[in-house]
Amino acid sequence: MTEAVYDYTRQDATGATCTAHAWAKVPPPLTRPQREELKAKAAALLKAKNAVLVAHYYVEDDLQDLALETGGCVADSLEMARFGRDHASQTLIVAGVRFMGESAKILSPDKRVLMPDLDATCSLDLGCSPDDFAAFCDAHPDRQVVVYANTSAAVKARADWMVTSSCALAIVQHLKDQGQKVLWAPDKHLGRYIQENIGADMLLWNGTCIVHDEFRATELELLKAEYPNAMVLVHPESPKAVVNLADVVGSTSQMLKAVVDGAAKEYIVATDNQIMHRMRQLAPGKTLIEAPTAGNSATCKSCAHCPWMAMNGLQGVIDCLGRGQGEIFVDPAVARDAVRCIDRMLDFVAKNPSALAPRVQGMVRGIGAA
């Protein structure tokens, strides 16, 4: 088994790509009457424009509720991709971050794809520039290129496979079974987790998610001592020491399933804290505890919430539909190359639905690794 990490030169994220800029653009808190007024206006526009809202678990409560109330979906990035592709609407509103909007456009090139704020991006995407990634691929032509969904369309265009956290383990296992070596990008924690679980020969890009990279094992151990009966749910984008403390390691949808189906009454959740809104809706009798990012060993740039996800708001949806702003465009040549790796993933998942949970970790049967 080969383990290596490609140490890229980290981008100097300034201007529209820095977290300070993102936090500054987060919509201000609304009163209940203001929220209801904006939700009603957004719902009316969705209907009038024959548009559908696709929202990620990490965006604000009101957007999640609006999506469900108007026939859209709240989901992880895999289900968002499938839903947008298959829905009859010719206008998609993607409440999430830019790579999600790009993926929706790639899969539905004839549809109009809009986002509440085009500045909403992702540290994994920012840290994997197309030119540097192309050089990485060119240096290792003997490897299958597997990229996480959290990458630009241009990076996907160089890939053989795209994966999400719900199917990454199964797809890399499939490649290992075929005798393939893997070039993996961009999240080093998820790559290491897959490598350790299945023993694949993987060369890892050195990227991280600014939310999940901030969870700390020391503080998590203290919290576990305070709640000894709680089940610990961890996303595999987290550091190894945090993953090692988990009862369940999985994608957002798998963590949600663990709460809904689990016998425990208390759950410590180590992912973006906005997922707790959907967890509370589907499992109202469970107690949810936010895993710590604060403490002496943490920097707390995000405090368990992605600043770019937080930029999505009701007014942004209204502006998308009312003014036509925030439209996603992908170069057709790039899209033609990128769609192959996305379609390959979707085809694999359709043919191997059970592969999404190939392992059991912890106390809940059927909940697999990411």
What residue numbers bound the domain in which 220 lies? 212-290
Question: Do 83 and 132 have their domain in common?
Answer: no
pLDDT in tens, 53-90: 999 999 999 999 999 999 999 998 878 888 999 999 99
**pTM score, whole prediction:** 0.90
> In terms of domains, do 202 and 232 share one?
no
CB-based contacts of 168, cutoff 8 Å, min separation 6? 146, 148, 190, 194, 370
DSSP code string of 151-187: S-HHHHTT-SEEE-TTTHHHHHHHHHHTT--EEEESB
Q: Does residue 369 sit within a domain?
A: no
- Residue 251: how many CB atoms within 10 A of its CB? 29
Q: Which of 193, 337, 219 lies closest to 289, judged by CA?
A: 219
| Pair of tokens at residue 250 | 């999985």
Confidence of residue 195 (pLDDT cuts 50, 70, 90): very high
Q: How many domains does the chain have?
A: 3
- Structure confidence at residue 294 (pLDDT): 61
User: Over the range 304-334, which residues count as b (16 or more CB within 10 Å of their CB) and which as e?
Assistant: bbbbbbbbbbbbbbbbbbeeeebebebeeeb
Are 205 and 217 found together in one domain? no
Answer yes or no: is 302 within a domain. no
* β-bridge partners, 91: 51, 112
Regarding beta strands 91-95 and 51-56, do their DSSP bridges make them parallel or antiparallel, or are they unpaired? Answer: parallel
Which pLDDT score is estimated for 357?
A: 52
Range list of H helices, 30-167: 32-48, 61-69, 77-86, 98-107, 123-126, 130-139, 153-156
Percentage with pLDDT > 90 across the chain: 80
Average pLDDT over residues 332-354: 94
Lowest pLDDT segment from 15-29, 106-120, 238-252: 15-29
Same domain, 250 and 230: yes
pLDDT of residue 6: 42
The pLDDT score that the predictor gives to residue 81 is: 83
The residue among 364, 361, 164 whose CA lies nearest residue 246 is 361
Given phi > 0 = left and psi -120 to 50 = alpha, else beta, which region is 362? left
Contact 157, 193 (CB under 8 A): no
Strands lying side by side in the sheet with 287-290: 248-249, 231-234, 266-270, 287-290
pLDDT tens-digit map of 155-164? 999 999 999 9
Please provide residue 235's backbone torsions phi and psi, each rounded to the nearest 5 degrees.
-80, 140
pLDDT at 348 over 90: yes
CATH code assigned at 275: 3.40.50.10800
Which uninterrupted H or E stretch holds 273? none
